[in-house]
Structure 1
Amino acid sequence: MQPEVENSTTELYTVKDYTKRRPAFTQGGLRHLFFHQGPELEQSGAIVRFGARILIDDTAFLAWLKAGNARHIGSNRGAA
């Protein structure tokens, strides 16, 4: 069974290219987020793993952020 093909054009960016496109993000900050919330990001379609490389879907990633999913990163979920 083949995966469903998306109708809209999806643009995927490497972490390095994404930080050039969106300078508000740093490579280290993105990698920290991916380490702690990678499975959730993959499930939402915000990131795609291509071997060892992580590719970011700009539209899905920004939607995931706007939904408040990065409010707590890592183990300090109770910290203010």
Structure 2
Amino acid sequence: MATTPRRPVSAMDAAEALFKPVKKPAAPAVEKRALPEVKELVSLKLDSAIVEFFQEGGPGWQDRINDALRAVMQNERGA
């Protein structure tokens, strides 16, 4: 009674196994710090009433939202 090996060994299979790509471990994510006072592109979901309020003042509404958020941040840090 002949038994077949668990892993068939042939020259072609051995050669294929040698040249299969090796999975490299993923590089750890690098947290990059933004320079102070540099604006960073982000995506926010805001209530439509908030967007309308700031857009009523015309161009520069995104800067006004930034100024309002900065004022809140500085108020929280000062408290």
TM bin (shorter chain): under 0.3
Higher RCO structure, 1 or 2 (CA under 8 Å, sep 6+): 1
More strand by proportion, 1 or 2? Answer: 1
